[in-house]
Amino acid sequence: MSGHRELERLLSQALHPVYVIAGEDTLQVQEARDALRQKARQADHSEYTLLIAEKAFDWSRFDAETANRSLFGDRKVIDLRLDIESWPAAARDTARQHIKAYCDRPDLDTVLIISAGRLSKKEQQTSWYQQAASVGGTLTLWPPRPNEFPGWLRQRCTDAGLKISPEALALLVERTEGNLLAAHQEITKLRLLLEKDSAGMEDILAAVGDSARYDVFKLVDRILEGKPRDAWRTLQGLRGEGIEPLSILWALTREIRTLLALGQRARHEGRDSAMGSLHVMPMRRSLVSASLDRIPRKLLWQALAKMADIDRSVKGLARHDPWLVLETVTVELASASR
């Protein structure tokens, strides 16, 4: 059962005294936690306590909070957040003992929501988790796979009351790269900025991404179009707007890797099929295909090596001037011809 359906099942049941949410994605865990808290609030659990447990957490705070009854008889929610899998063995054992002790005799006027990050099968077999499952509900959340992400994003737009065109969806997929929280933030931004209930390519380009006059994605397109002078000017515009080299590095490296992968896959499955499997937007396929015919593969590999030089320089591990290297790569790729 998927995490979304399992959450719906838990929400349809009577309120449990304990819930355990396991998942690596911040947005999924946050939304599940909020939904359970809302369910508790509807059942008159008006008091709320947040406990963020690090590996050196003082578990006497947890014991005191779970033992403390409200003077006014209010029901409460305790929001316990931890990442137990990343802790040393001693810290994990301490956490397990305290949570297990509470789950042995939970307070029925309290809802304890434990969000524990990623939990391995081994951790789920420990006594604290098993006891929590026996008295409450457990939920394991998995982010959508790459091939599922466009569908997830389209549904999020629909849920937000936004009708999005296929081309605009493809661009949004490319810009958020499977990051659910980033996608959620971009959809929220679109809803706030647009004065209509639909979004096309121009709306995405105008409302999403950098506020710079010269967009990073425009730089990539100028390079693919084989326009060295325009590409160089766009790069200088980005620098003048204060854009960090890493933002350009990310976009350019991604495009170079796509071209290299496309050249490899096209030999076996055909270029159109390869572009589909690599999620190249339909409106950009002719541009990408033309640049693949124009830019030698050897030059792409050389450019990728120079991108690594920029990354090391930004991290202080090398002495290359990032902007000088970017200029070189920009002009070389835009000027290339077979």
Residue type, 315: K
Q: Are residues 114 and 155 in the same domain?
A: no
Give me the residues paired with residue 122 across strands: none
Q: Are residues 186 and 220 in the same domain?
A: no
Q: What is residue 53's DSSP assignment?
A: -
Q: Are residues 241 and 312 in the same domain?
A: yes
- Domain final residue pick, 140, 164, 196: 140
* Structural domain of 86: 3-140
Residue 259 and residue 295 in contact, taking contact as beta carbons nearer than 8 Å: yes
Q: Which of the residue ranges 135-139, 191-195, 215-219, 315-319 has the most confident prediction, judged by mean pLDDT? A: 135-139
pLDDT tens per residue across span 153-164 = 999 999 889 899
- With b meaning 16 or more CB within 10 Å and e meaning fewer, what string describes 145-184? eeeebbebbbebbeeeebebeebbbbbbbbbbebbbeebb
Q: Are residues 135 and 20 in the same domain?
A: yes
pLDDT tens per residue across span 207-241 = 654 444 447 888 999 999 999 999 999 999 888 87
Q: Are residues 111 and 59 in the same domain?
A: yes
Q: Are residues 170 and 266 in the same domain?
A: no
Span 315-330, average pLDDT = 84
Instruction: Please spell the DSSP secondary structure of 140-167, one letter per residue.
Output: E--PPPTTTHHHHHHHHHHHTT-EE-HH
- Domain final residue pick, 115, 140, 165: 140
**Extended beta strands in the chain, E state:** 18-22, 47-52, 76-81, 110-115, 137-140, 163-164, 198-199
pLDDT tens per residue across span 44-56 = 998 999 999 988 9
Q: Are residues 19 and 110 in the same domain?
A: yes
Q: What's the pLDDT score for residue 208?
A: 55
Q: Are residues 287 and 179 in the same domain?
A: no
pTM over 0.85: no
Q: Are residues 202 and 220 in the same domain?
A: no
CA distances from 282 to 100, 131, 183, 313 (A): 54, 51, 21, 35
CA dist., res. 112 & res. 132, Å (int): 10
pLDDT tens per residue across span 8-38 = 899 999 999 999 999 988 889 989 999 999 9
- Domain final residue pick, 86, 108, 140: 140
Residue with tokens 């098993």: 130
pLDDT above 90: percentage of residues in the chain: 49
Strands 198-199, 163-164: pairing is: parallel
Q: What's the pLDDT score for residue 308?
A: 87
Q: Are residues 55 and 87 in the same domain?
A: yes
CA dist., res. 285 & res. 159, Å (int): 30
Q: Which of 6-20, 33-47, 169-183, 283-297 has the lowest mean pLDDT?
A: 169-183
pLDDT above 70: percentage of residues in the chain: 93
CATH for 285: 1.20.272.10
Q: Are residues 132 and 182 in the same domain?
A: no
For the chain, the domain total comes to 3
